[in-house]
Amino acid sequence: MASVAVFLENESDWSATSSGSATRYALQAEKVNIAIQKNPIQIAAPKNSPYLFDLGTYKPVITINGIVDDQSSGNSVSLGSTAFKLPTAYQISRLSTDWWFDTTQVINLYIQEPDSGSNVSYFKYKAALSTVTIDYKALSEERPEFAMIFFAGRPKAYYPHMTIA
């Protein structure tokens, strides 16, 4: 069963009905994979062990798999006080061409932590969408599945229960 714990926000969606307004989607994610690739340098040295240099460079890559509806349900989910609507397969497919990351259009990816009572904790990534895949199964009544791959920066963590006043 898919849960809604992944949220997408385009702060300035120029493809939206009212250009430049925010568009927010709650993804029905089944799996989230966060891989961090580091790039140490290895230099071979004659008759010696190789020299290793780790300059601290890294590249987070986030893969999200889940299900999506063909038709709009009109439902929305809240993260804090902000409402995010459930997207259709068409809306997810349009993200690959309509959303980009630059100084005028920022994409935020929120990954909510498991419920810890009254506190809402999440990671907020600034992310660039790399790949969108929608999988329709022939002769099936099941909803389509999707996969999205994002390149991201370091996340900001929001742990309100850990904030000391």
Q: How far apart are CA 64 and CA 82, in angstroms?
A: 21
Distances (CA, A) of 144 to 18, 63, 119: 28, 17, 32
25 touches 6 (CB < 8 A)? no
Task: Check which CATH number belongs to the domain holding 145 and give it.
Answer: 2.30.110
Q: 44 lies in a domain? A: no
Domain membership of residue 11 as a residue range: 3-37+56-162
Distances (CA, A) of 147 to 9, 33, 49, 55: 17, 11, 42, 32
How confident is the model over 72-87, as pLDDT tens digits? Answer: 888 888 888 889 999 9
How confident is the model over 116-145, as pLDDT tens digits? Answer: 666 678 899 999 999 999 998 877 777 899
Q: pLDDT by residue for the chain (165 residues), tens digit each?
A: 455 589 999 888 776 666 667 889 999 999 999 999 998 999 998 999 999 999 888 999 999 999 998 888 888 888 888 899 999 999 999 888 888 887 778 899 999 887 666 667 889 999 999 999 999 887 777 789 999 999 999 888 876 655 444
- pLDDT above 90 as % of the chain: 48
Q: 49 lies in a domain? A: no
Q: 32 lies in a domain? A: yes
